[in-house]
């Protein structure tokens, strides 16, 4: 059976591993662009936003489409900085495969683990591209060991590497050929010339061992392949690829490719692997769906079989000309220009101005988007555009996809402008930015009345304020960033609440919930185990009450994190009950369960990875001790030490400046949220 000629893939990596550089060279190889841009020079196609070009980092995920060997490939280039993990999470909802980029000399870094586990949790097949073979410090065996130990999957090299003076040799194990790339004298963005040749005797011996390793790893997933291999024959390329795909779908192996993205070395092998090894949209199960009327789970693809259209909104973006671009992935049917849509679960009608395909910062109108395609819908500024996480369909669609839950923000900054009019303009724009990025939260300081902005880190907030100041043409004063505290529980608890007469005339509502702690949890999970009320407004009010009880939508109490909340019983008697009753009862039930569980005030802790020159290790370790950090280990890499630690986030604010001073500007570090820990009294 011919494989569907569509691929939706994500490029994932730690910051500076080379993912955007790989994306640029894929686009150049496939003819989508005439010359690959540079991240450092601010000319990368996917880093089209002004702030990305100025800072040389990826801030927002960008979608772009190219063609290779008859397949239409939509590439989603995602940020590598931990502050923008939300961008990675929502991108993973609409792709079928991913390319994990690993810096060869640096190995598996902190954010590498984070994005890998995000993809693994979504059961997304992946290939890995080990980058920067031209740099000192690259050891294939060490990288494989780190993949095995830190990512928890068996690495499976499909390429053998050799490096000599002025050239890199890549042996394509399955296709039994060598590719020789001359890199002598090349500077950034020059393409290495490639010469193909047959294998030498030494390379052939190494390839035979690699073939045995591949057979051992994948034979159990394909009987025909195993039978041919056991008979002593070498299976053809197509059978190798089929067996590897099946093993990847069970997350039994991670195929490894190698190269130097900035010179185009090995990029063609990546393009071939995307087409040959990563799944097409029709080769993976549809996402889980939920009944739009009751909220009950329908299973993968439930309720979509007879729908004319089912599309998922995974991102919205305010574009420079003022329009809002709504990114969608079509899972069933066709999304046609001019069609009347319904936004689920609210069932509000919607009609976009245009249907477009997206090419990073550009968008081209098209008549339709078919099943499996990623594209966009355009709304004029100020119009009620769909929100991230909503489902779009026609009147016949009765199912929704899983909503996207934004992580709880951990850093807060207060904002000031020069007058009340400027303040209102600032708050309005920040709310528009927060609509596009749900991990940003706009609030008000209860004591001073100043606007506040909460986010995932100092860089996250700095970029949002910088963008607001630029778009509004005004100066925005910011306070010192502070850490957003939360509540955690140390035990399980149950709570019950009810309302009847005289609060409810001719009716009664009772709700019982149970709450349990989730170790190292960073948010909360709500499980609706009991049958929900039949009316949509009652269900929405009940769910709002659960969030209010957890403090998620209230500024007067600290939100609860690291918990799983189960709604175990809902009793409704009567039909003329105001929705607010469900909200009040749900909120009281959660508060009762929390009181039984013993909530404690907690602060966020982060995992820290620091790369520092050997002479500066003592000063850095001393500084970490002063901040209350716990050193977990260290690893030597050439003239540098890689320190792993855990620390309170509040104590790490401003560490970047101190590290530059202590290391003479040569130190690097990354942080990612790890847990909330009770505050010492």
The candidate with the shortest Cα–Cα distance to 386, out of 400, 407, 372, 371, is: 400
CATH class of 6-283: alpha beta
Q: Give residue 444's pLDDT.
A: 83
What integer pLDDT is reported at residue 313 of this predicted model?
A: 93
Is it true that domain 288-401 has CATH number 1.10.760.10?
Answer: no
Examine the pLDDT at 664 and tell me if it is beyond 80. Answer: yes
- If you average pLDDT over residues 197-203, what whole number do you get? 93
Model confidence band, residue 43 (pLDDT cutoffs 50, 70, 90) = low
Parts of the chain belonging to CATH 3.30.70.240: 604-678
Measured distance CA(645)–CA(667) in Å, rounded: 15
Q: What is the reported pLDDT for 418?
A: 82
Nearest to 99 by CA among 116, 118, 117: 116
Task: Tell which CATH classification among 2.40.10.10, 3.40.50.720, 3.40.720.10, 3.30.70.240 matches the domain 604-678.
Answer: 3.30.70.240
Segment holding 595, helix H or strand E: helix 579-597
* C-beta atoms surrounding 395 within 10 Å: 11
User: Lowest mean pLDDT: which of 251-265, 447-461, 606-620?
Assistant: 447-461
Three-state DSSP state, 290: strand
> Which class is 411-484 in CATH?
alpha beta
Comma-separated ranges of CATH 3.30.70.870 domains in the chain: 411-484
- Percent of the chain with pLDDT strictly greater than 70: 95
Q: Which spans in 168-301 are helix H?
A: 201-218, 223-230, 237-249, 267-277
Q: Is 70 exceeded by the pLDDT of residue 315?
A: yes
Q: Mean pLDDT of all residues in the chain?
A: 87
Q: How confident is the model at residue 49 (pLDDT cuts 50, 70, 90)?
A: low
Residue ranges of the chain that CATH labels 3.40.50.300: 6-283
> Residue 74 pLDDT more than 70?
yes
Q: Identify the pLDDT of residue 54.
A: 58
- Dump pLDDT digits (tens) for 408-452: 788 888 998 888 888 888 888 888 888 888 888 888 877 777 888
pLDDT at 449 (0 to 100): 76
Q: Sheet holding 297-300: strands in order across?
A: 297-300, 288-291, 399-401
Q: How many CB atoms lie within 10 A of CB 23?
A: 31
CATH 1.10.10.10 assigned to 487-597: no
Averaged pLDDT for residues 520-540: 82
Rounded average pLDDT over 340-358? 89
Would you state the pLDDT for residue 3?
67
- The predicted-structure confidence for 549-591, as pLDDT tens digits, reads as follows 998 766 667 889 889 999 999 999 888 888 999 999 999 999 9
Residue 681 has pLDDT above 60, yes or no: no
Could you count the other beta carbons within 10 Å of the beta carbon of residue 408? 23
245 pLDDT tier (thresholds 50, 70, 90)? very high
Mean pLDDT of 240-266: 94
């Amino acid at each position: 059976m011919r494989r569907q000629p569509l691929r939706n893939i994500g490029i994932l990596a730690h910051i500076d591993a080379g993912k955007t550089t790989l994306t640029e060279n894929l686009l150049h190889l496939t003819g989508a662009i005439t010359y690959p841009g540079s991240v450092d020079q601010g000319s990368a196609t996917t880093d089209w936003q002004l702030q990305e070009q100025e800072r040389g980092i990826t801030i927002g995920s960008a979608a772009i489409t190219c063609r290779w060997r008859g397949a239409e490939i939509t590439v989603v280039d995602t940020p590598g900085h931990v502050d923008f993990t939300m961008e990675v999470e929502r991108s993973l909802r609409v792709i079928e495969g991913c390319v994990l980029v690993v810096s060869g000399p640096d190995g598996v870094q902190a954010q590498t683990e984070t994005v890998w586990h995000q993809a693994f949790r979504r059961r997304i097949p992946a290939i890995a591209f080990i980058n920067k073979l031209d740099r000192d410090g690259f050891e294939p065996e060490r990288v494989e060991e780190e993949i095995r130990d830190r990512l928890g999957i068996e690495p499976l090299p499909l390429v053998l590497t050799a490096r000599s003076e002025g050239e890199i040799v890549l042996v394509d194990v399955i296709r039994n050929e060598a590719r020789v790339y001359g890199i002598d004298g090349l500077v950034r963005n020059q393409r290495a010339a490639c010469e193909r040749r047959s294998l030498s005797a030494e390379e052939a011996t190494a390839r035979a061992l690699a073939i045995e390793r591949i057979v051992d790893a994948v034979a159990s997933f394909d009987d025909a392949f195993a039978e041919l291999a056991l008979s002593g024959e070498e299976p053809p390329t197509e059978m190798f690829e089929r067996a590897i795909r099946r093993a990847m779908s069970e997350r039994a192996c991670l195929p490894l490719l190698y190269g130097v993205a900035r010179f185009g070395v090995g990029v063609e092998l990546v393009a071939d692997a995307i087409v040959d090894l990563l799944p097409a949209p029709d080769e993976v199960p549809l996402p889980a769906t939920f009944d739009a009327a009751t909220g009950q789970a329908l299973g993968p693809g439930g309720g979509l079989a007879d729908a004319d259209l089912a599309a998922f909104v995974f991102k919205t973006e305010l574009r420079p000309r003022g329009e809002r671009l709504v990114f969608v992935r079509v899972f069933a049917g066709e999304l046609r220009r001019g069609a009347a849509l319904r936004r689920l679960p609210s069932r509000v009608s919607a009609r976009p101005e245009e249907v477009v395909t997206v090419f990073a910062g550009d968008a081209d109108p098209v008549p339709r988007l078919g099943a499996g395609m990623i594209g966009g819908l355009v709304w004029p500024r100020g119009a009620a555009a769909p929100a991230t996480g909503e489902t779009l369909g026609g009147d016949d669609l009765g199912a929704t996809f899983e909503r996207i839950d934004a992580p709880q923000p951990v850093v807060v900054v207060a904002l000031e402008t020069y007058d009340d009019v400027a303040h209102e303009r600032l708050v309005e724009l920040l709310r528009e930015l927060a609509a596009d990025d749900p991990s940003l939260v706009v609030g008000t300081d209860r004591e001073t009345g100043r606007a506040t902005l909460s986010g995932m880190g100092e860089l996250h907030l700095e970029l949002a304020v910088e963008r607001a100041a630029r778009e509004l043409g005004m100066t925005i004063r910011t306070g010192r960033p502070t850490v957003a505290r939360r509540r955690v529980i140390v035990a399980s608890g149950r709570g019950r609440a009810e309302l009847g007469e005289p609060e409810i005339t001719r009716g009664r509502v009772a709700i019982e919930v149970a709450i349990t702690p989730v170790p190292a949890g960073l948010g909360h999970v709500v499980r609706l185990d009991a049958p929900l009320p039949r009316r949509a407004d009652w269900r929405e009010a009940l769910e709002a009450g659960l969030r209010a009880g957890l403090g998620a939508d209230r500024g007067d109490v600290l939100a609860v994190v690291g918990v799983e909340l189960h709604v175990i019983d809902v009793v409704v008697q009567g039909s003329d009950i105001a929705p607010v009753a469900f909200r009040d009862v749900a909120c009281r039930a959660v508060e009762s369960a929390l009181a039984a569980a013993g909530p404690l005030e907690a602060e966020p802790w982060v995992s820290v990875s620091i790369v520092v020159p050997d002479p500066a290790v003592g000063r850095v370790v001393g500084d970490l001790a002063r901040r209350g950090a716990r050193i977990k280990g260290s690893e030597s890499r050439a003239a540098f030490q890689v320190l792993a630690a855990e620390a309170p986030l509040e104590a790490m604010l401003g560490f970047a400046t101190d590290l530059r001073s202590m290391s003479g500007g040569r130190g690097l570090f990354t942080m990612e949220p790890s847990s909330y820990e009770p505050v010492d009294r």
